[in-house]
Structure 1
Amino acid sequence: MDDVIILGAGIVGIATGIHLLRRGRSVTLVDKSAPGRETSFGNAGIIQREGVRPHAFPRDLQTLLQVGLHLSTAARYEPLALPKLAPPLLRYWWESSPDHYRKVVQSYAPLIGRSILTHDDLIKAVGPEADALISRYGWHLAFRSQDKFEKEIRKAQGDHEQFGIGYKALDWPALKAAEPNLLGKLVGAIHWTDPWTVKDPGALVGLYFGLFEKLGGTFVHGAADGLRQDGANWITRVDGQALRARQAVIALGPWAPDVLEPLGYRLPLFVKRGYHMHYAAADDAALRHLLLDPEVGYAMAPMAAGIRITTGAEFSLRDAAPTPIQLAKAEKAARELFPLGARLDPQPWKGARPCTPDMMPIISQAPGHAGLYVGIGHAHHGFTLGPATGELLAQMMTHEDTAIDVHPFRMGRFLGA
């Protein structure tokens, strides 16, 4: 019998396992997919230290109309999914009001502050192979209109003063100097200088998994049939094999409700689906750094597999058929800025970001079950926050003082506890 079973071998589950193994616990990690090949794989590859402000629900009429009429590239919805999505989305809208959102940012900023520190810890533990995947330049938040660029400069200055976030305002000549192959249509960019970017997020998570195994962790490849409590222990079955441990962690991202709901936890979770595609560069062009085009709603990042375009949010049911409409719109807009070549992937990658209505993850002991812990709901920042979440869960599970106050991330906030 192990000390801990972790369901979910994405970046959260792997990082939690590493931190527990370092503390002398025996750990078995379970997943139906290969480690790090789901949501941890398909992202823009940012360790997003500047991301102290999680994505709020839009409240201005223009944006709401664009989304409602399916004119937006940044966000779209599937009408047939609305009956199930309406309750959590309504709460998401409410939590995004100015007063609520200010409180969210104050709680969220210390967690984001752990992102670089905890990734750096794991990168150093892995060694040069992991470090070779990292760029410490930061990334560009680029603008097509002067008024929105100037508004973002003011916000960046505020975040610098309040949270110490580093940035530079680049006018078009400075941005063109940093990215010589840009074609135009931009007035400038915010260069966020604190974040790191990764040219192959899936490979980095794979290296973290290698560290997990090096430290003595066990991986079981297969679908767990849930969790049940047997006295002081937790049991799951994988392909008929019973696994038993004193503690259990649910780090299943968008699949967490499949295990939590049979245990009596009905949480207001929803998913934002996203897509990516890799492209060649035309005319020997090179994209040096990640660029986000917020006025359209996509990111364009240089990756080992090509130039990756990642889409915004698709509000849909987790398992619904792919509808990569946003990707086609993003590709068209990206070709205005950069000489993209042919598509390199046979089909778009699709993933689901697990979200909570208050924009903050659940990093918590389950309030009604001893020995059960949960790390889910990271939305757009799962890759960023995986190692920080693993650190906090391991500290809670071994009764250490946590690196930051974890009270804002408790599961009970959705259960009246």
Structure 2
Amino acid sequence: MAEPKADVLVLGAGMVGVSAALHLQKLGRDVILVDRREYAGEETSYGNAGVIECASVFPYMFPRDVSQIVQYALNRSPAVRYRMSDLADFLPWILRYYLASSPDKAKQSAMSVLPLIRQSLIEHEALIAEAGVPELLRRSGWLKLFRSERSLANAARDAERAGQFGVPSEVLDAKSIAAREPHLTGDFAGAVHFPTPGFIADPGALAKAYAALFFRKGGRFVVADARTLTQEGGGWRVNGASAREVVVALGPWSDLVFRPLGYSFPLGVKRGYHLHLKANGNAVLNHPVLDSDLGYLIAPMNQGIRLCTGAEFARRDAPPRPTQVEQALPRARMLFPLGEAVEAKPWMGARPCLPDMLPVIGQAPRHPGLWFDFGHQHHGLTLGPVSGRLLAEMMTGTTPFADPRPFATGRFG
């Protein structure tokens, strides 16, 4: 059988890669999607909180609060853990992350990604309608709970600041929390409800639905190792397929391709874990709920209540060590009536992050036909379709809907 050829190879069948393939297809490109797994959405795109964060104006930057930094350094924060044995590997990246999180640079990152954040739910809505899976999208928004008056006051100020950019929110007292989530228990100072973000009850299923749409429209899929990528005869080839252009959308594994080609983007990872649990009795959770002061989130997924941890700084491929799940589980049981676990062990994934918390979207400077679309930090689900649109417009010479310069490949020198 002859090896399949196309206009574009997209390496990586997660939310980012599938979305890029769909938008390239929509603009007339013949696309082959390439992944090491047989199905889309099996890696990082499967395990997240399910929130399409169109209200998240400000990226997840390194904190400037001294007490919080001390907690991180002493490994006492439930939201962040690190492995001492891996410290030498990720400490240089942490330093770059800290420097990129100064107030001025954090604001610059926020303003750069704002056009994509504002368009994120709109792009998802269009693809969800076309894919025929409206049942996967819920319009509940999400809740951030706070147990101290200080953290609530800080959150209220942040919400007010986000409101200046058109993000609606409501500060709730204990009575209002109970009205929205009657099965939560605890001593809360208050909460902030963000009503506009969408919630996906099965993120992995959404990636698969988008991939199915891509196939129905004539797209092709090849199981192959992206590390076999070579430049041949004015085009690009992996074992099993070739094309004139290639998009690297491999999330936390993108370095396996860009480093051999001579690029040195400062790509780091924040690992995370989740565990699905049954709800006891007739208990119902209506929103994703972040227990902000205790550093975990619960979300009402189709598979059960998903308990999500904060960030773990460790080598991407180090063995799992779900300490944060073990710490969060008894706290979550006190918040919501959780029953037995659905899975035998927690799932682990890795969030691909650049120090400025902006993705790399654009053309490689030294290799014609090579494009990048990775590094979406905590917002791969949110930004997948909108960054796919931006990339496809750049690749086809269409006027981009947003300024692509903040995401340029050359911004790290």
User: Shared topology, TM-score over 0.5?
Assistant: yes
2:127 paired residue number? 122
1:135 paired residue number? 138
Asked if structure 2 preserves the Cα contact closer than 8 Å seen for 1:185 and 1:336, the reply is no
- CA shift for structure 1 position 88: 1.5
**Residue type of the partner of 2:137?**
I
Q: Which moved more, 1:140-149 or 1:315-324?
A: 140-149
Tell me the distance in 2 between the aligned counterparts of 1:326 and 1:210: 35
Tell me the distance in 2 between the aligned counterparts of 1:328 and 1:137: 28
Tell me the distance in 2 between the aligned counterparts of 1:22 and 1:395: 10
2:151 paired residue number? 148
- CA shift for structure 1 position 411: 1.1
Aligned pairs (5 A) from 1:381-392: 381-392=379-390
Asked if structure 1 preserves the Cα contact closer than 8 Å seen for 2:141 and 2:195, the reply is yes
- CA shift for structure 1 position 25: 1.1
1:180 paired residue number? 182
Aligned pairs (5 A) from 1:51-62: 51-62=56-67
Of residues 221, 224, 228, the one that matches 2:223 is: 221
1:29 paired residue number? 33
- CA shift for structure 1 position 224: 3.0
Aligned pairs (5 A) from 1:171-320: 171-237=173-239, 241=240, 243-320=241-318
Unaligned runs of 5+ in 1: none
Asked if structure 2 preserves the Cα contact closer than 8 Å seen for 1:22 and 1:215, the reply is no
Tell me the distance in 2 between the aligned counterparts of 1:224 and 1:69: 38
1:375 paired residue number? 373
Tell me the distance in 1 between the aligned counterparts of 2:361 and 2:284: 40
- CA deviation profile, 1:309-347 (whole Å, cap 9, x unmatched): 111100011100001001111112212211111111111
2:99 paired residue number? 94
1:347 paired residue number? 345
**Residue type of the partner of 1:390?**
G
Tell me the distance in 2 between the aligned counterparts of 1:19 and 1:152: 36
- CA shift for structure 1 position 151: 2.3
- CA deviation profile, 1:193-244 (whole Å, cap 9, x unmatched): 110001111111110110010111100123233322224211111xxx3x21
Task: Using structure 1 for the length normalisation, give the TM-score.
Answer: 0.96
Q: Say whether residues 1:362 and 2:360 are aligned partners.
A: yes
Q: Which moved more, 1:217-226 or 1:26-35?
A: 217-226
**Residue type of the partner of 1:190?**
V
Tell me the distance in 2 between the aligned counterparts of 1:62 and 1:147: 13
Asked if structure 2 preserves the Cα contact closer than 8 Å seen for 1:226 and 1:258, the reply is no
- Identity among equivalent positions (%) equals 47
Asked if structure 1 preserves the Cα contact closer than 8 Å seen for 2:143 and 2:191, the reply is yes
2:46 paired residue number? 41
1:399 paired residue number? 397
- Shift in alpha-carbon separation, 1:59–1:151, aligned structure 2, 3 A: closer
**Residue type of the partner of 2:40?**
P
Tell me the distance in 1 between the aligned counterparts of 2:282 and 2:248: 46
1:80 paired residue number? 85
Tell me the distance in 2 between the aligned counterparts of 1:222 and 1:229: 16
Tell me the distance in 2 between the aligned counterparts of 1:84 and 1:267: 15
Q: Say whether residues 1:165 and 2:170 are aligned partners.
A: no
Aligned pairs (5 A) from 1:10-29: 10-29=14-33
Of residues 72, 79, 95, the one that matches 1:67 is: 72
**Residue type of the partner of 1:21?**
Q
- CA shift for structure 1 position 10: 0.3
Q: Which runs of 4+ in 1 moved over 3 A?
A: none
Q: Which moved more, 1:281-290 or 1:116-125?
A: 281-290
SS in 1 for 2:312: strand
- CA shift for structure 1 position 158: 1.6
**Residue type of the partner of 2:234?**
A
- CA deviation profile, 1:349-404 (whole Å, cap 9, x unmatched): 00010000111111111111111111100110011100011111111110111110
Tell me the distance in 2 between the aligned counterparts of 1:166 and 1:216: 40
SS in 1 for 2:226: coil
- CA deviation profile, 1:68-106 (whole Å, cap 9, x unmatched): 222111001111212121222111000111121111111
Tell me the distance in 1 between the aligned counterparts of 2:228 and 2:94: 27
Asked if structure 1 preserves the Cα contact closer than 8 Å seen for 2:82 and 2:312, the reply is yes
**Residue type of the partner of 2:261?**
L
Asked if structure 2 preserves the Cα contact closer than 8 Å seen for 1:185 and 1:337, the reply is no
- CA shift for structure 1 position 187: 2.4
- CA shift for structure 1 position 181: 0.6
In the alignment of these two chains, the number of paired residues is 408
Tell me the distance in 1 between the aligned counterparts of 2:228 and 2:400: 28
**Residue type of the partner of 1:23?**
L
**Residue type of the partner of 1:103?**
Q
SS in 2 for 1:351: strand
Asked if structure 2 preserves the Cα contact closer than 8 Å seen for 1:118 and 1:388, the reply is yes
Tell me the distance in 1 between the aligned counterparts of 2:161 and 2:235: 49
**Residue type of the partner of 2:176?**
A
1:334 paired residue number? 332
Asked if structure 1 preserves the Cα contact closer than 8 Å seen for 2:41 and 2:204, the reply is yes
Asked if structure 1 preserves the Cα contact closer than 8 Å seen for 2:35 and 2:222, the reply is yes
Tell me the distance in 1 between the aligned counterparts of 2:302 and 2:369: 40
